[in-house]
Amino acid sequence: MLRKNSSKEVDIKKINDILGLSKKILKIAYLLIIIACIYAITLVFKEWKIMNFIFTVIKILSPLFIGLIIAWLFDPVVSFLKRKGMKRVIGAALTYVVIMGILAIIIGTIIPMLSSQVNELVKTLPNILDVMRTWIDAFFEKLSNIEGFNAIAFKEDLFDKLENVGFGITNALPDMVINGARSIISGIGIIIVGLIIGFFLLVSFDSADDLITFLPKKYHKDARDLTNEINTSLRTWVTGAILDCTFIFIITSVGLAIVGLKAPLLFGLFCGITNIIPYAGPYIGGIPAVLVGFAQDPMTGLFTLIVIFIIQFLEGNLLQPLIMSKTTKLHPVTIIIGLLICGYFLGIVGMIIATPLIAAIKTIIIYFDEKYDFLNNN
């Protein structure tokens, strides 16, 4: 009897192991199927040029998207004023006036300082280029000691190509200025239309329930709960990103000004903007400042490198975990994959929206997992 019972226990244990293994295999199979589906969709999009069509639609409807984002950002303030007894249209108008006034003051303060620093950098640019040319000459002089390598011919060929590029840019400069002016005017027009649409959306839609009513009644609760969770996730990410980038902009500008780098405000602003891109952003923002620093003066370049390193170390180990870890809670590998995919299809814009997009997708998956328990391993 004891042998029979022990054999049964062993059989049950084996069955449990087999079931556990089969669940893991099924999970891997599901993952492979999802990857295969994504790859197939990518091929279909590329073959049918669907992305071009989508980009065209997005370009046409860009004022609507801008309006939606503005309304989404300002809605908490307008809703707060409404709860205090103010009419929604008056609250929306007051919010617009206050926020636009603050932005105008900030821009009016920063732009003149930024313009003067850019002009100063442009004046010193020839000296910086001469220093860089000296470095290149010294570098190729060392390469000339390598047997079988014609460093002088390679250097002359390189300088010829650079000069051709320079002449090409100079010849194309008038057209670039005209096209740039047209793009700026067009962009300002799109933003103005987006602001108008955003105002009407703020006034028209009292809450997300106004949109949910278009769905069948049985889906109202799920849609409301899911919308609230996605809204919370994205709003906390936006808040964290703004605080993080503002800190980087201010502290980098101050640090670069202390070490004597030309146009510290310009490079600080660039570092702050690019810092919104996880992992790659700090390098994209810091490299130009370091290069200009070394071209300006070796000690300035060294101090610039130290400042960038210290700031990114503090941001990555103190500020970002404090702010961003409470917002997205995404695995680094997931973020990197999202950056690669979104960057491939949408470029820099894709890299910026990758993290909030993945955070929203994760929120949706977690919501349906908790509701339907389709990822449960038990």
Q: How confident is the model at residue 109, as a pLDDT?
A: 84
pLDDT (average), residues 73-90: 87
pLDDT digits (tens, 9 = 90+) for 14-61: 666 666 667 677 767 777 777 777 777 777 766 777 767 777 777 788
Alpha-carbon dihedral sign for residues 20, 23, 28, 31: negative
Distance CA 370, CA 316 (A): 32
Confidence class for position 232, pLDDT limits 50, 70, 90: confident
158 vs 255, which has greater pLDDT?
Answer: 255
User: Percentage of the chain surpassing pLDDT 90?
Assistant: 5
Encoded tokens for 210: 């106004």
273 vs 316, which has greater pLDDT?
Answer: 273
Q: How confident is the model at residue 205, as a pLDDT?
A: 67
pLDDT digits (tens, 9 = 90+) for 350-367: 777 887 888 888 888 777
pLDDT digits (tens, 9 = 90+) for 189-221: 888 888 888 888 888 766 555 556 666 777 777
**Does residue 258 carry a pLDDT above 60?**
yes
pLDDT (average), residues 237-241: 81
User: Percentage of the chain surpassing pLDDT 70?
Assistant: 71
pLDDT digits (tens, 9 = 90+) for 287-335: 888 888 887 888 888 999 999 988 888 877 776 666 655 555 666 677 7
- 57 near 160, Cβ under 8 Å? no
Give the gyration radius of the chain's Cα atoms: 28
Q: What is the mean pLDDT of the chain?
A: 76
Confidence class for position 2, pLDDT limits 50, 70, 90: very low
Q: How confident is the model at residue 186, as a pLDDT?
A: 77
Confidence class for position 8, pLDDT limits 50, 70, 90: very low
Cβ contacts of 305 within 8 Å, gap of 6 or more:
290, 293
Encoded tokens for 76: 């908490």
Q: How confident is the model at residue 255, as a pLDDT?
A: 92
Of the ranges 27-31, 172-176, 219-223, 242-246, the best mean pLDDT one: 242-246
pLDDT (average), residues 150-163: 68
**Does residue 93 carry a pLDDT above 60?**
yes
Confidence class for position 1, pLDDT limits 50, 70, 90: very low
97 vs 2, which has greater pLDDT?
Answer: 97
pLDDT (average), residues 84-93: 88
- 332 near 281, Cβ under 8 Å? no
pLDDT digits (tens, 9 = 90+) for 118-146: 777 777 777 766 777 777 777 777 766 66
Distances from the Cα of 314 to the Cαs of 66, 81, 237, 241, 317, in angstroms? 33, 37, 19, 16, 5
